[in-house]
Amino acid sequence: MKIHHLSEQNSVLNTFISEIRNVEIQNDSMRFRRNIERIGEILGYEMSKHFNYKASTIKTPLGDCSINLLENNVVLCSILRAGVPLHNGLLNYFDTAENAFISAYRHHKHDPESFEIVVEYLACPSLENKTLVLADPMLATGQSMLATFEALKPFGTPKEVHLVSAIGAQEGVDFIADHFDKNTHLWIAAIDKKLNEKGYIMPGLGDAGDLAFGEKLQH
Ligand SMILES: O=P(O)(O)OC[C@H]1O[C@H](OP(=O)(O)OP(=O)(O)O)[C@H](O)[C@@H]1O
Ligand SMILES: O=c1cc[nH]c(=O)[nH]1
Ligand SMILES: [Mg+2]
């Protein structure tokens, strides 16, 4: 796996990551969503540097201009529900991308410390020979990312796969590296050291889905 750990370099990305982690700023859910979206924009921009480009000519009012333009057929797939603002950020930059949505949630069957990943909803175009971008702001155990990737397999074989996340735990990053092809890219803003006993990233930020959209009742 090719890991692009973007906060290893100082940039304004750190501001947005610090705000989504900050317990006081988190009270503003609109700002939380917008910061996740901004992180998606930055990760998408960095990712775009690794895409393929072809020479084109554009007519300006004063003459012709040569420019290299993106030629990848991008499919953005995000994991509901926390993935929605990250998806919006990516879509802000990949104007012509096709889109897929998949649900994955942690189902606590017996006790709060053990869970299984349940995939229910899935809407996806053909992935055959396309650039699949799979986005979820939190990469904790890595199980949601793997379960959704497995569920996408009947839709075709992508030419390349890019995973996009805001914050991960080292354990989840290692898990993903073990289970995905070595040519897969991971674009991630920050990697934290560990998970707690409930599978939350430490220090992480808490529950991204709840912070973006409000608490949900367990069912
Ligand atoms: O790497 P994992 O251990 O699989 O955990 C990460 C998943 O957990 C969160 O979703 P959650 O189940 O909280 O659902 P939500 O988006 O509805 O809040 C997050 O958005 C990821 O999808
Ligand atoms: O720390 C975590 C782990 C999973 N999902 C979250 O929203 N946060
Ligand atoms: Mg989820």
C-alpha neighbours within 13 Å on the C-beta side of residue 46: 22
Ligand 1 atom with the smallest distance to the CA of 142 is 1
* Ligand 1 lined by 175 (C-beta under 6 Å): no
* Per-residue model confidence (pLDDT) at position 108: 76
- Site to probe by mutation for ligand 2, drawn from 143, 205, 216 as the one with most ligand atoms within 8 Å of Cβ, is 205
ipTM of the complex: 0.96
Q: Judge: domain 2-52+70-212, CATH 1.10.760.10.
A: no
DSSP H stretches of helix in the chain: 13-21, 29-48, 83-93, 143-152, 170-179, 208-213
Q: pLDDT for 170-198, tens place per residue?
A: 999 999 999 999 999 999 999 999 999 99
CA–centroid distance, residue 81 to ligand 3 (Å): 6
**Ligand 2 pocket residues where CB is under 6 Å:** 82, 138, 140, 200-201, 204, 207-209
Q: How many residues does the chain have?
A: 219
Residue entry with tokens 């992480």: 204
Q: Write down the mean pLDDT value for the chain.
A: 96
Kindly report each contact of residues 148-153 with a partner whose C-beta sits within 8 Å and lies 24 or more positions away, as own/partner. 148/77, 148/79, 148/102, 148/104, 148/119, 149/180, 151/102, 151/119, 151/122, 152/77, 152/100, 152/102, 152/122, 152/124, 152/127
Tell which residue, 78, 81, 73, has the closest CA to residue 89.
Answer: 78
Per DSSP bridges, beta strands 185-192 and 138-139 are unpaired
- Site to probe by mutation for ligand 1, drawn from 33, 78, 79, 164 as the one with most ligand atoms within 8 Å of Cβ, is 79
CA–centroid distance, residue 63 to ligand 3 (Å): 49
Domain limits, the chain: 2-52+70-212
Round the CA-based radius of gyration of the chain to a whole number and report it. Answer: 18
Tell which residue, 219, 183, 187, 190, has the closest CA to residue 205.
Answer: 190
Give 218's pLDDT tier (boundaries 50, 70, 90): confident
* Per-residue model confidence (pLDDT) at position 211: 98
Q: Which two structure tokens, joined as six digits, stand for 155?
A: 């839709």
Give 140's pLDDT tier (boundaries 50, 70, 90): very high
- 11, containing H or E segment: none
Ligand 2 atom with the smallest distance to the CA of 169 is 1
- Site to probe by mutation for ligand 1, drawn from 33, 108, 138 as the one with most ligand atoms within 8 Å of Cβ, is 138
* pLDDT of 114 above 80: no
Ligand 1 atom with the smallest distance to the CA of 147 is 4
